[in-house]
Amino acid sequence: MKTHTILMPLDMHLHLRDAVMLETVAPLTAYSYSGAIIMPNLVPPVTTLEDVKAYKQRVMAAVPNDNFEPYMTIFYKNYDKAFLESIASEIVAIKLYPAGITTNSEGGVSSFDIEEMRPTLEAMSELEIPLCVHGETDGFVMDREAEFMPVYELLAKNFPKLKIIMEHITTKAAVDMLDKYENLYATITVHHLLLTLDDVIGGMMMPHHFCKPIAKRPEDLDALLTVALSAHPKVMFGSDSAPHPQHAKESCGCAAGVFTAPISLQLLCEIFEQYDKLDNLQAFVSDNAQNIYGICPEFKEVTLEKRTFVVPEKYGSVVPMYAGEAIAWAIESID
């Protein structure tokens, strides 16, 4: 039977939430990944040293195994340099949300005034703290990411030593930005390597494929596949796996987010094998992230096997992507 081994897989964009939800979902990522960047958009968001330490402890307490590292982040606000110095060793990045753009982002940035942001972003540059950005405007849903590109350009030009991560990119426009500025990087989710808007509303309406940014056009999917499958060195895997309880997904006014944590590595194998690019998966799902963030994860060796795996209908209260459907790869062993 065909197998494929990944060393130290990393999920560079993960939502774990808190309390019972944290306890449900954290073990699933910790099982198959060496580490993950934990997003700070709790209610209220993670913004202080105490918040970070306490949230990290809660994450660790929810994880049964010790070979998983939660890479912590704080929610972007304008911070002073003394604060950033005090927190630099506890976090790997700061996450910027435009205000109100996605789940629990109400306290985010409402205008990109570079001079107001300059002290914070210059301190981050000096302290080598990357800036992770949810890059969407409040415009028409299909244009939000493309419309945000000038903000990325403004940030990249004004802060050339700041590592800027375009999170969960979904468009050819964002892919095209990657080689334009040395300090721009990107994460890509697994669902954005599989879906277009057709899979959300093209046939029936599919709430479990509904996320922000929304899946875009076929030509956008092609552009994302091209950089991911070639393991472009500025691109990393970040699942953006986002758990919501079933009732919040399957009701009127369904919440945005696709839950892929327990199946993301298997789906990546399926995609990379389908395009005969399995050799590039190691870079996409670990090596690039290690280079970009300068992190050295604990050893973990995950072997996947090409055999049918039927995705469970639920994990706790959360319905995963492809619930009840067969996928082509399964996790065989973890050392």
Nearer to a copy of itself, 221 or 236 (CB): 221
Q: Is 71 helix (H, G, I), strand (E, B) or coil?
A: strand
Q: Which of 3, 57, 226, 251 binds a copy of itself (CB under 8 A)?
A: 251
Q: Which of 49, 61, 99, 141 binds a copy of itself (CB under 8 A)?
A: 141
- Does 126 interact with a copy of itself (rule: CB under 8 A)? no
Stretch near a copy of itself under the rule CB under 8 A, chosen from 3-11, 51-59, 145-153, 213-221: 213-221
- Report DSSP state, residue 186: E
Nearer to a copy of itself, 260 or 282 (CB): 260
- For 216, the enclosing helix (H) or strand (E) is none
CB of 204 to a copy of itself, least distance (A): 4
Site for a copy of itself in 253-292 (CB under 8 A): 253-256
- Does 313 interact with a copy of itself (rule: CB under 8 A)? no
Q: Is 240 a catalytic residue?
A: yes
Q: Give 241's strand partners.
A: 14
Catalytic hit among 11, 51, 220, 240 = 240
Q: What are the tokens at 71?
A: 């890479």
Amino acid at 326: A
The count of other CB atoms within 10 Å of the CB of residue 328 is: 17
How far apart CA 213 and CA 224 sit, in angstroms, is 14
Q: Which of 109, 214, 227, 289 binds a copy of itself (CB under 8 A)?
A: 214
* Residue whose token pair is 């005969």: 276
Cβ pair 202, 227 in contact under 8 A? no
- Does 202 interact with a copy of itself (rule: CB under 8 A)? yes
- Please tell me the count of residues contacting a copy of itself according to CB under 8 A: 25
Give which of 272, 226, 316 is closest to 9, Cα–Cα: 272
- Report DSSP state, residue 214: P
Stretch near a copy of itself under the rule CB under 8 A, chosen from 45-53, 135-143, 268-276, 286-294: 135-143
Amino acid at 11: D
* Residue whose token pair is 């093209």: 202
The count of other CB atoms within 10 Å of the CB of residue 38 is: 27
Stretch near a copy of itself under the rule CB under 8 A, chosen from 48-56, 125-133, 212-220, 272-280: 212-220
* Residue whose token pair is 């709790």: 42
- Does 208 interact with a copy of itself (rule: CB under 8 A)? yes
How far does the chain reach from its first CA to its final CA, in angstroms?
Answer: 19
How far apart CA 82 and CA 97 sit, in angstroms, is 22
Stretch near a copy of itself under the rule CB under 8 A, chosen from 54-62, 84-92, 209-217, 236-244: 209-217
Nearer to a copy of itself, 45 or 257 (CB): 257
- Does 201 interact with a copy of itself (rule: CB under 8 A)? yes
Q: Is 37 helix (H, G, I), strand (E, B) or coil?
A: strand
How far apart CA 155 and CA 148 sit, in angstroms, is 11
Nearer to a copy of itself, 137 or 291 (CB): 137
CB of 110 to a copy of itself, least distance (A): 17
What is the secondary structure of 11-62 as a DSSP string? EEEE---SHHHHHHHHHHHHHH-SEEEEP---SS---SHHHHHHHHHHHHHH
- Does 200 interact with a copy of itself (rule: CB under 8 A)? yes
Q: Which of 7, 60, 88, 142 binds a copy of itself (CB under 8 A)?
A: 142
- Does 58 interact with a copy of itself (rule: CB under 8 A)? no
- Does 192 interact with a copy of itself (rule: CB under 8 A)? no
Q: Which of 18, 23, 122, 198 binds a copy of itself (CB under 8 A)?
A: 198
Q: Which of 73, 120, 183, 196 binds a copy of itself (CB under 8 A)?
A: 196
How far apart CA 303 and CA 26 sit, in angstroms, is 20
Question: What positions carry a catalytic annotation?
Answer: 240
Which residues contact a copy of itself by CB under 8 A? 140-142, 196-198, 200-202, 204-208, 210, 214, 217-218, 250-256
